[in-house]
Chain A
Amino acid sequence: MSHESQFCHERGLPFLEAQSLTKTYRVGGSTVHALRDVDFTAAQGDFVVINGPSGSGKTTFLNLISAIDRPTEGDVLIEGASTAALSERQLAQLRKDKIGLIFQTFNLIPVLTAAENAEYPLLLQKLSRAERSDRVQSILAEVGLEDLARRRPNELSGGQRQRIAIARALITQPKLVLADEPTANLDSETGAQVMALMRTLNEEHCVVFIVVTHDPAVAGYARRRIRIHDGHLMEGGTDDLVDSAPKSPS
């Protein structure tokens, strides 16, 4: 996969900024604070792991910074631009062009083959058939699934499905990839392979990875580790985990 930011010369430049993010829900007659006045910044090349107990607000935070949900208060800036005033259509375009998403349950489209699932975001970008085909071949090779291109999701193992989901998240060459519990449905060995792959792609393509997990093993892959508790973010150190991260296959 060719990538313009392959040499990551923008590493360290701010890419995503969350300002005073608050998210509340009305449950029955009471108000539940999922996130309280959260500030967060991610720079180019970051590999951030966010962990915390169930119900701490991890997924809510991910939903807000991935522009699939709107904060009750605060703002999310992507490359310095506010997302608060964007319409639904503009948010969809932002997600399509700049954000890759990886889900806990893979969320592949069952009627499409592995290659077609990876290709789907390119259909939204209205690329030519030839360009789509080139990119699909390239990304499938990168995630090591070129031989399984024509298989449907139900013919793939959990690890293979998650690799396809990663290929789908990366095929548009986004600057930000958000993963919600990407190893939760995988055995530990497959989970390690998937994380190693994500880490390699982070290093090679300078893509910001933000991974939400409660799996302690995943935290070892982080450049930055952040903990969420009761809707508050607590920085768990910057770059101090790099040395302890398992070596990526690359």
Chain B
Amino acid sequence: MTWWIPLRSLLRNRRRTILSVAIIGLGTAISLFVYGFLEDSRTQIQATTVGEYGNLQIASPVLWNDTADGYDYLIAPETEAEILELLAEHAGITGVTTQVQFPGLLAAGNQTQVVRITAQVPGNPTLNADGLIVEGRPLDPSDVASILIGRSLAGRLGVGVGDAVTLTLTTVAGAFNATPLQIVGIYRFTSEQVELQTLFMPQTFAKLLLNTAGVDRLIIGLSDIADTDRAATAIDRQLADAGLALEVRTWYELSPIYRQLAGFFDILFGFLTLAVFVLVFFIILQVLTLAFLERTREIGTIRALGTTRGQVFGQLLIESGWLALIGSLAGVAAGFLLGLGFNGLGIEWRPPGTVESSLLAVRLTWMTAVPPFVVSLIATLLSALFPAIQTSGLRVVDALRVE
């Protein structure tokens, strides 16, 4: 009927309205703070994962399913060229690179370590370890027998930049091979496991060592991470149409840790949302039941004047809508202030199994404000339903009799 009468009604008992707004606002603010924190963590992990895997990878199903017989998954240069042609049709692709991974034994002095070599194309920005270097320099296209090793492995082997190490491996055909290598750089990574086991090497030299021209995967960079699924589906279809027995994997499919963490975050936020929902629902239910009950006679009066049950219900719901809107907006504002304050503290934390501390932060965007805002809004409106139905459904004579 009108929007302003419910708003006036809401403000008639200021103390109760302030209490209700505070409860809704508190729930929204806590929810926003935790959701913003989880979203920031998720974003950091996404960036790390994409930095490690690229957005998409194309490889043989036997590699993905871990059912390879030797190196039978390698992609021949002609196939690689054919794929690159297919990928040229996609606008959202920022770059493509190739990679070969193989195991080996790294020896330094009298110490030996089982390692996994990741052979990259130096200078290709799609995926490289350039941003991880903490000492020395990144790999260069002119490098031959050069490697980057992890900070933890360098510490364990007691080696540094400029030192020589020896790598032993088997070729694609199964023959032993060995080569001296020079450490040109030391990298850091969030995972100590990666730092201990992974070496980076120029791909051209790796192919020489393996005695192959093939690569085991193509790695694709996308301009927008949100485009991952759409691009993966499109490329998968293209590969199938071209008769290539290759499959696309997304960055999150390639990272079990990310999937576990994302699932954990979802559960955590789900529980929090439920808790906030229940808190807001039951407290506001009580507050509104009392508020509407106090106005039984007034509602009887407006019904007697010709207001229908539906109109009374609508008015009460609009009133609750105002309360929900004001409370949720206040909560968003409070959540942003809380988040800004927290971010300003610059608290760092080192997760277990990692070597790098990361900054704890709350992601404060309008998108992170939407779920807590909507949850509080819905909880408040739902809590208003029962008292609104009950009050609007009263018989007029009964309502008028109430003192």
Contacts and interface: CB of A to CB of B under 8 A. Distances in A.
Interface of A: 63, 66, 68-69, 88-89, 92-97, 101, 103, 107, 109-112, 120-121, 123-124, 168
B9 A111 contact: yes
Given A63-B397, A107-B298, A110-B12, A95 B5 contact: no
B228 interface: no
Interface size class of B (residues with CB under 8 A): 20 to 34
B12 A95 contact: no
Contacts of A112: 5, 8
Interface string B274-314: 00000000000000000000000110011111111111000
Contact of B396 (A69, A89, A120, A124): A69
Nearest to B305: A121
B388 to A, nearest CB: 17
A97 B301 CA distance: 15
Interface string B390-403: 00000111001000
Given A68-B396, A107-B298, A111-B9, A124 B304 contact: no
B305 A96 contact: yes
Given A92-B306, A96-B305, A69 B12 contact: no
B1 interface: yes
Contacts of B1: 123-124
B168 to A, nearest CB: 86
A109 B304 contact: no
A180 to B, nearest CB: 9
A121 B303 CA distance: 11
Nearest to A94: B306
B5 A103 contact: no
A97 B306 CA distance: 8
Contacts of B9: 111
A82 B11 CA distance: 42
A112 B301 CA distance: 14
Interface of B: 1-2, 5, 8-9, 11-12, 297-298, 301-311, 395-397, 400
Given A110-B12, A111-B5, A124-B1, A101 B304 contact: yes
Contact of B303 (A63, A92, A94, A97): A92
A111 to B, nearest CB: 4
A92 B299 CA distance: 13
Contacts of A97: 306
A123 B395 CA distance: 22
A103 B306 contact: no
A95 B308 contact: no
A89 B396 CA distance: 12
Most A C-beta atoms less than 10 A away, residue of B297, B298, B302, B306: B306
Contacts of A107: 297-298, 301, 400
A157 B11 CA distance: 23
Given A68-B400, A123-B2, A124-B1, A111 B8 contact: yes
A112 B302 CA distance: 13
Most A C-beta atoms less than 10 A away, residue of B1, B305, B395: B305
Contacts of A101: 304-305
Contacts of A95: 304-306
Contacts of A123: 1-2
A63 B399 CA distance: 12
B341 to A, nearest CB: 37
A68 B2 CA distance: 24
A96 B302 contact: no
16 contacts: A63-B397, A66-B304, A68-B303, A68-B397, A69-B396, A88-B309, A89-B308, A96-B306, A96-B307, A97-B306, A103-B301, A107-B400, A111-B8, A111-B9, A123-B2, A168-B305
Nearest to B303: A92
A109 B304 CA distance: 13
In the complex, the 9 A-B pairs of residues with the closest C-beta atoms, listed nearest first: A96-B306, A111-B8, A107-B301, A68-B396, A95-B306, A69-B397, A92-B308, A111-B12, A68-B304
Given A95-B306, A103-B301, 19 more contacts: A63-B397, A68-B396, A88-B308, A89-B308, A92-B303, A93-B308, A96-B305, A96-B307, A97-B306, A101-B305, A107-B297, A111-B5, A111-B8, A111-B11, A111-B12, A112-B5, A121-B305, A121-B306, A123-B1
A95 B301 CA distance: 12
A188 B301 CA distance: 25
A120 B305 contact: yes
Contacts of B305: 95-96, 101, 120-121, 124, 168
Contacts of B311: 124
Most B C-beta atoms less than 10 A away, residue of A69, A101, A120: A120
Contacts of B5: 109, 111-112
B350 to A, nearest CB: 57
